[in-house]
Amino acid sequence: MSKRARISLGLVAILLAANLVVGYRVYSAEATAAGEEEAFEKISVMMRVIHLIRKDYVDGDKVGYQDLVYHALHGMVNSLDPFSDFLTPEQLQDMMEETEGEFGGLGVIVTTRDGVLTVMSPMEGTPGFRAGLQPGDQIVGIEGESTEGQKVDEAVSKLKGKVGTAVTITVHRPRTDATWDVTITREMIPLTSVKDDHLIPGTKVGYVQVLQFSDPTAQELETKLRKLLQDGADSLVIDLRNNPGGLLTSAVDICSLFLKPGELIVSTEGRRPSQKQEMRSNARGWRVPDNIPVAILVNGGSASAAEITSGCLHDHHRAILVGERTFGKGSVQNVISLPDGSALRLTTAMYYTPSRQVIHHHGIQPDIEVALSDDEYRQLALAANVIDGVDAPVKAEDRQLQRAVEVLQGYVSLDAGRKGKADPEKEVQQAQAPAAAK
């Protein structure tokens, strides 16, 4: 390398380091002078490393400034938590496409837990769901290559692909210690919000399933709930099982269907005062009548906005939760655009339910726990005729739904029988005690 080239490289390093320190000062107004000096020192070390790689690394094709800086940013941000990440312009575009409508893939929401690529929620009716993937399954290999150490976005890019093509993944299920390979054909994944609304046969219990939280979800749910009540429903089951969440605004709108205006839905807290916020129910026109009992079905695939909704309605005593503990994804990520078209997705706060329960890593514990076995989950999928290679539906018992129906019918019967009682609250306590023991 010529002396002039070394001087130019040195100037680039100094200018970049200076810019980073200026940014540090702007975003950390409370930093001390000693802290700024340490930042400058460490940034200088990073730039020295980049200089040495550029000058001496054996493979010159791998030492472009953009690649080196992008990889450094990936490593730095990924070390914080599984949900923070640095997004290249291409990755940012992919993320925007996935939130806008349809994308080609398996229909499986993944994250990392303890450094392992883990299924958070398989979206019902998608190839991943039909292949029998369940919340908590670990994807330990993709096309024979280990996923150990892979970033989530890197793994997702390998799972996605052209519609009609296939990908083979290696799955490990910790609950049973089973490991197997499965080949799944990619499909266009429609982002359906609400489905399967009906009166449960032989009852007046209305049922509706919410698959995700997107812009139209609240309006779609309102339409279907109105119809169920018009058809004679005296209680409601809202199925949030395997719902990976989505938009916070959608969760607020859905909770507002059941609460009076101005009631606390969820709060956030971070390090900065500006990150302390409260989201409250809005003044929507129509609401589910207060005398309509509600049960919400949850399981390990219920995450994010699904946990906010179930936690809120539970804390306000507006719904009873039935099923299994939820996933525990309760952190706030902000996507911050950067000058070159890339972006920083950064965890800035945590979600708290109205009763100050921490959702993240803890999840929401249901009032009535009904755990299903792997075989029961498979039988339910077979009954819905969504398992690949199975043409005829079979009968299967959904014990979580059955328990929710029993509880709701008990509430309705109790409400009818308590009218005219001298001490209605005592009657409620007496009726609830045996129900909880079932």
> Can you list the alpha helix ranges (DSSP code H) found in 217-299?
217-230, 248-256
Interior angle at CA 387, CA 386 and CA 393, nearest 5: 65
Q: Which of 329, 331, 342, 398 is catalytic?
A: 329
Residue 275 DSSP class: G
Q: Closest Cα to residue 70, out of 90, 56, 55?
A: 90
Known catalytic residue: 3? Answer: no
- Between the two ends of the chain, the Cα-to-Cα distance in Å is 79
Is 304 noted as a catalytic residue in this protein?
yes
Select which of 315, 331, 342, 398 is catalytic.
315
Distance CA 378, CA 218 (A): 30
Backbone φ and ψ of 179, nearest 5°: -135, 135
For the chain, helix, strand, coil in percent to 5 are: 40, 25, 35
Cβ(170)–Cβ(153) under 8 Å? no
Which residue type is seen at 298?
Answer: V
CA–CA gap between residue 78 and residue 409 (Å, rounded): 48
Identify whether 227 is a catalytic site residue. Answer: no
Give CA–CA dist 293/301, Å, rounded: 24
- 107 within 8 A of 173, measured Cβ to Cβ: no
CA pair distance 122, 108, nearest whole angstrom: 4
H helix intervals, 28-80? 33-56, 65-78
3-state SS class at 418:
helix
Residue 359 has a CB neighbour count (10 Å cut-off) of: 24
Q: Which residues, including other chains, have CB under 8 Å from residue 25's CB and lie 6 or more apart? A: 31, 36
Q: Which of 304, 310, 331, 342 is catalytic?
A: 304
Q: Which helix (H) or strand (E) holds 286?
A: none
The rounded distance, in Å, linking the Cα atoms of 146 and 170 is 9
Is residue 313 within 8 A of residue 301, CB to CB? The reply is: no
Question: How far is it, in rounded angstroms, from Cα 376 to Cα 394?
Answer: 12
- The catalytic residue positions are 304, 315, 329
